[in-house]
């Protein structure tokens, strides 16, 4: 479980920093232009101010306002499994980017994910076999559809 | 539009076949929980790269239409809404299914969706020409105000937290500013990289915030849970009595759906929820929520009518008023088309063709839906551990196939993680994408207005139309703020009484 108020404050601070970057860059260009209304920085500057204002209002709500004493929590699922799943996705992309074999990388990635997530099957041989078959059939279908029929090279 | 010359130029059996494929894929994507029209469109976009323009766009629109009905299949059979527009369908569809009549619920949903879809398609056919003529009379500040209303209506109608929704929209607008300035060609916020000069693409956000975040969510959710259909009687036939009972509600819902579709920013989910809540208040609908056929009909007719309505501002003014239309706009751009004022005059065959194929999509949705609904319902029991990796692969193809850039796939993955947390923290992901989509348009009209007036901001309140729109815009912010303050006061007074 994650504390919603704390996570909210962190997200608002992060947004403040990013909006601050946009505002700084906008004002830096804006001040050099005489016909300010023609400037490409005017609109982003206004939007940055809106983001900063809304982020400050959100922070005020969390720290002093409606959410001051809130102890609400939220769950996104298994936090232990999150880095594993993200790790598989990242590895899948790295392998694809480095080796260049899209369909092979996707086949391996999909099979690994299915095998990892098929928690009800205790027998690992069956798990892996099932994952390889499903992944093979699906990637085969995708290959035929995109590479052979649509002629999109990946 | 109705001349034989136009019709013969438009129709071909191949296009009808592509429309059928679009509808079928739409039924599937709509039925898969957590996906929806936008993700479905992104996944199908790569397939349309090398197709001719009309069949490609017709297939995408057919997907959008099929998706709106597909969402109700899971709502009714599994009790999980396939898309956000199908949430209100759950309130009456699920109780009816639990009472042993899932087939009847699905039949009502399909019939109402067809009525809504037909009304939407006819409204597109008959409103396009008059509204296109009207669009020529709108000035830059007026179009700016319409776009602004589209954004603020998200705050007014769907906001859980006003500051966070405003933040989401404005943050999305900031991301829309990355790239080359369309007026001067100067790079803005590109971190001095060439990759960012062409800016982000909306499909990237759709893939990241919706598809990838859903994949992660499914992957880290309860993997021991298995979806089960409670009852396998899925014959979608409905009686004449049921048809008569839902007809008025479906027609009324569809009419409201068109209006919601035309107003940029609202979309099918907001429209369906609004109509359901409104109809529930009527005395004769007191049994809403207990398996009432009219409860299913009103929201299903509404969300399908939105499709036709939402295409109007996009084709007439170039304003993509919802995430689905914005994703669809990527298909238009891919085929070298830029919608907006004058689009109808320069591409009459295409626009009329789309109107006709929307109509055909509705008819095919009814036919295909009637015979394949039970198939989709059974397919949906496919466990998450199979579904998630498959969606991920298609998402990567969607992200990379767009411009063949690796960094966009990485960005989609990052946005997926961000989207997972953002929705839990009450940020509006749909507000973010809508802000991103409308940002270049709003800036364009904003700057053109200011250049015309030489920096005089009163140009935005000079015409009566602008003043009316300004009042509506203020109301869209003021009403949810007032409601939040009232809730807070009520909660505070409740606490004081409890302490006493």
Which residues between 14 and 33 in chain A have a beta carbon less than 8 angstroms from any beta carbon of chain B?
15, 18-19, 21-22, 25
pLDDT of residue A128: 93
pLDDT at B60: 93
According to the model, what pLDDT value does residue B2 have? Answer: 63
Which residues numbered 100-119 in A keep a CB inside 8 Å of some CB on B? 102, 106, 109-110, 113-114, 117-119
Alpha helix segments (H runs only) across A31-152: 42-63, 81-99, 102-117, 124-142
Name residues 36-95 of chain A within 8 A of B (Cβ).
36-38, 40-44, 47-48, 50-51, 54-55, 57-58, 61, 65-66, 74, 76-79, 81-82, 85-86, 89-90, 92-93
- Per residue in B280-292, pLDDT (tens digit) is 877 666 788 888 9
User: How large is the average pLDDT for residues A33-56?
Assistant: 88
- Yes or no, beta carbons of B450 and A142 under 8 Å apart: no
Q: Is the pLDDT of residue B218 over 80?
A: yes
Residue of chain B nearest A1, judged by CA positions: B424
Any chain B CB within 8 A of the CB of A127? no
Mind telling me how many Å the CA of A125 is from chain B's nearest CA? 17
From the list B308, B319, B300, B331, the residue with the least C-alpha distance to B41 is B331
> Quick one: tokens of A137?
């059939």
pLDDT band for position B279 (50/70/90)?
confident
Determine contact, residues B399/B219, Cβ cutoff 8 Å: no
What are the CA-CA distances from residue B194 to residues A65, B164, B197, B333, B334 (Å)?
A: 43, 32, 5, 21, 21
For residues B354 and B58, is the Cβ–Cβ distance under 8 A? yes
pLDDT in tens, B399-441: 887 778 888 899 999 999 999 899 888 898 888 988 898 898 8
Task: Quote the CA–CA distance of A87 and B6 in Å, as a whole number.
Answer: 54
Are residues B382 and B32 in contact, defined by beta-carbon separation less than 8 angstroms? Answer: no
pLDDT of B46 reads 81
Residues of B in Cβ contact (< 8 Å) with A95: none
Question: Phi/psi at B403 (nearest 5 deg)?
Answer: -135, 10
CB contact under 8 A, A154 and B401: yes
CB contacts, 8 Å: A68 with chain B: none
pTM listed for this prediction = 0.84
Give the distance from residue B147's alpha carbon to the nearest chain A alpha carbon, in angstroms. 15
Closest chain B residue to the Cα of A22, Cα to Cα = B189
Q: How far apart are CA B109 and CA B369, in angstroms?
A: 10
pLDDT for res B491: 72
pLDDT of residue B235: 80
- What would the pLDDT profile of B444-478 be if each residue is shown by its tens digit? 999 999 999 988 899 999 999 999 999 998 988 88
Can you give the pLDDT at residue B358? Answer: 92
Orientation angle between helical segments B293-317 and B87-98, nearest 10 degrees: 150
pLDDT value at B134 more than 90: no
Token representation of residue A34: 């005489």
B37-48 and B384-403 helices cross at what angle (nearest 10)? 50
Count the neighbouring beta carbons within 10 Å of the beta carbon of residue B1: 16
Q: State the pLDDT at residue B375.
A: 82
- Per residue in A51-103, pLDDT (tens digit) is 999 999 999 988 887 776 677 888 888 888 899 999 999 998 998 888 888 89
CA dihedral B365, B366, B368, B374 (to 10 degrees): 110
pLDDT for res A11: 94
Q: What beta strand segments (E) does B153-262 contain?
A: 179-180, 187-188
Span B349-371, average pLDDT = 91
Share of chain B above pLDDT 90, in %: 29
With CA atoms as reference, the chain A residue closest to B386 would be A114
Select the residue of A22, A37, A41 nearest B174 (Cβ to Cβ).
A22
Q: Is B245 exposed, middle or buried (0-12, 13-18, 19+ CB in 10 A)?
A: middle
The distance in angstroms from the start CA to the end CA of chain B is 71
Closest CA to B87 of B244, B295, B258: B295
Extract the tokens encoding B442: 């709003």
Residue B494 clears pLDDT 70, i.e. is over it:
no
pLDDT, position B362: 95
For the residues A96-117, what does the mean pLDDT come to?
A: 89
The yes-or-no verdict on residue B231 having pLDDT over 60 is no
Its ipTM equals 0.90
CB neighbours (10 Å) of residue A97? Answer: 14
Q: Tell me, what's the pLDDT at A30?
A: 65
Give the three-class secondary structure for B188: strand
Tokens for B183? 């007026």
Nearest by CB to B50, from A76, A97, A151: name it: A151
Q: Do B171 and A106 touch (CB under 8 A)?
A: no
Separation of CA B189 from chain center: 29
Which residue, B94, B117, B48, B176, is CA-closest to B310? B117
pLDDT (0 to 100) of residue B488: 76
Burial of B247 from C-beta contacts in 10 A (0-12 / 13-18 / 19+): middle
For residue B496, is pLDDT > 80?
no
| List of residues 6+ apart from A140 with CB closer than 8 A | none
Out of A109-123, B138-152, B153-167, B175-189, least confident range = B153-167
User: How far apart are the two ends of chain A, measured CA to CA in Å?
Assistant: 39
Is any Cβ of chain B less than 8 angstroms from the Cβ of A125? no
At residue B500 the predicted structure's pLDDT band, cuts being 50, 70 and 90, is low
Contact residues, chain A, for B166 at CB < 8 Å: 50, 54
**Count of Cβ atoms closer than 10 Å to residue B109 Cβ:** 33
Instruction: Return mean pLDDT, chain B.
Output: 86
Torsion of Cα atoms, A133 then A136 then A140 then A146, to 10°: 130
**pLDDT bucket at B158, cuts 50 / 70 / 90:** low
Q: Are B447 and A38 a contacting pair at CB < 8 A?
A: yes
- Provide the pLDDT confidence category of residue B229 given band limits of 50, 70 and 90: low
Residue B284 neighbours by CB under 8 Å, 6+ apart: none
d(CA B104, CA B96): 8
Output b/e per residue, B11-39; b: 16+ Cβ within 10 A.
Answer: eeeebbebbbbbbbbbbbbbbbbbbbbbb
Residue B437 burial class via C-beta count within 10 angstroms: exposed 0-12, middle 13-18, buried 19 and up: buried
pLDDT for the residue A36: 77
């Amino acid at each position: 479980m994650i504390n919603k108020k704390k996570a909210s404050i962190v997200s608002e601070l992060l947004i403040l920093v990013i909006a601050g970057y946009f505002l700084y860059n906008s004002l830096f260009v804006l001040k050099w232009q005489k016909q300010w209304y023609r400037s490409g920085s005017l609109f982003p500057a206004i939007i940055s101010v809106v983001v900063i204002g809304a982020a400050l209002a959100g922070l005020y709500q969390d720290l002093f306002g409606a959410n001051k004493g809130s102890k609400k929590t939220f769950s996104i699922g298994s936090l232990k499994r999150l880095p594993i799943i993200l790790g598989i996705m990242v590895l899948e992309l790295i392998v694809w980017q480095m080796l260049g074999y899209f369909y092979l990388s996707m086949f391996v990635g999909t099979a690994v994910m299915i095998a990892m997530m098929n928690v009800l099957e205790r027998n690992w041989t069956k798990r892996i076999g099932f994952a390889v078959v499903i992944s093979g059939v699906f990637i085969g279908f995708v290959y035929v559809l995109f590479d052979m029929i649509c002629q999109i090279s990946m | 539009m109705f001349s034989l010359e136009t019709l013969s130029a438009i129709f071909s059996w191949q296009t009808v076949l592509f429309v059928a494929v679009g509808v079928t894929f739409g039924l599937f994507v709509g039925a898969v929980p957590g996906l929806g029209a936008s993700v479905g469109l992104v996944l199908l976009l790569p397939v349309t790269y090398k197709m001719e323009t009309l069949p490609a766009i017709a297939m995408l629109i057919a997907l959008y239409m099929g998706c709106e009905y597909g969402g109700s299949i899971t709502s009714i059979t599994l009790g999980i809404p396939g898309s956000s527009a199908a949430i209100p369908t759950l309130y009456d569809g699920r109780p009816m299914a639990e009472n042993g009549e899932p087939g009847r619920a699905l039949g009502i949903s399909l019939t109402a969706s067809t009525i809504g879809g037909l009304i939407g398609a006819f409204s597109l056919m008959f409103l396009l020409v008059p509204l296109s003529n009207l669009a020529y009379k709108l000035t830059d500040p007026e179009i700016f105000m319409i776009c602004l209303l589209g954004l603020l209506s998200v705050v007014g109608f769907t906001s859980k937290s006003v500051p966070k929704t405003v933040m989401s929209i404005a943050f999305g607008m900031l991301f829309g500013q990355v790239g080359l300035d369309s007026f001067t060609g100067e790079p803005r916020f590109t971190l001095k990289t060439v990759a960012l000069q062409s800016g982000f693409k909306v499909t990237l956000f759709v893939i990241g915030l919706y598809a990838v975040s859903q994949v992660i969510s499914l992957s880290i959710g309860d993997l021991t849970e298995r979806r089960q259909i409670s009852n396998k009687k899925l014959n979608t036939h409905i009686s004449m009595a049921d048809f008569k009972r839902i007809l008025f509600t479906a027609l009324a819902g569809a009419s409201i759906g068109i209006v919601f579709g035309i107003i940029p920013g609202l979309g099918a989910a907001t429209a369906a929820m609004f109509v359901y809540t409104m109809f529930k208040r009527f005395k004769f609908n007191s049994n809403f929520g207990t398996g009432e056929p009219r409860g299913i009909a009103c929201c299903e007719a509404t969300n399908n009518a939105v499709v036709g309505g939402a295409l109007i501002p996009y084709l007439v003014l170039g304003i993509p008023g919802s995430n689905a239309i914005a994703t669809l706009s990527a298909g238009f751009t891919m085929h070298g088309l830029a919608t907006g004022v004058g689009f109808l005059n320069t591409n009459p065959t295409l626009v009329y063709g789309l109107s006709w194929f929307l109509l055909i999509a509705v008819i095919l949705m009814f036919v295909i839906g009637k015979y394949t609904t039970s198939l989709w319902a059974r397919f949906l029991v496919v466990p998450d551990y199979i579904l998630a990796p498959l969606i991920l692969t298609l998402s990567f193809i969607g992200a990379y196939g767009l411009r063949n850039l690796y960094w966009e796939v990485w960005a989609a993955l990052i946005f997926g993680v961000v989207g997972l947390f953002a929705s839990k923290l009450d940020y509006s992901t749909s507000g973010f994408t809508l802000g991103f989509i409308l940002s270049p348009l709003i800036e364009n009209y904003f700057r053109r207005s200011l250049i015309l007036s030489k920096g005089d901001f009163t140009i935005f309140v000079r015409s009566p139309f602008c003043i009316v729109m300004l009042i509506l815009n203020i109301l869209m912010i003021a009403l949810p703020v007032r409601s939040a303050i009232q809730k807070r006061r009520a909660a505070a007074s409740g606490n004081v009484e409890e302490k006493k």
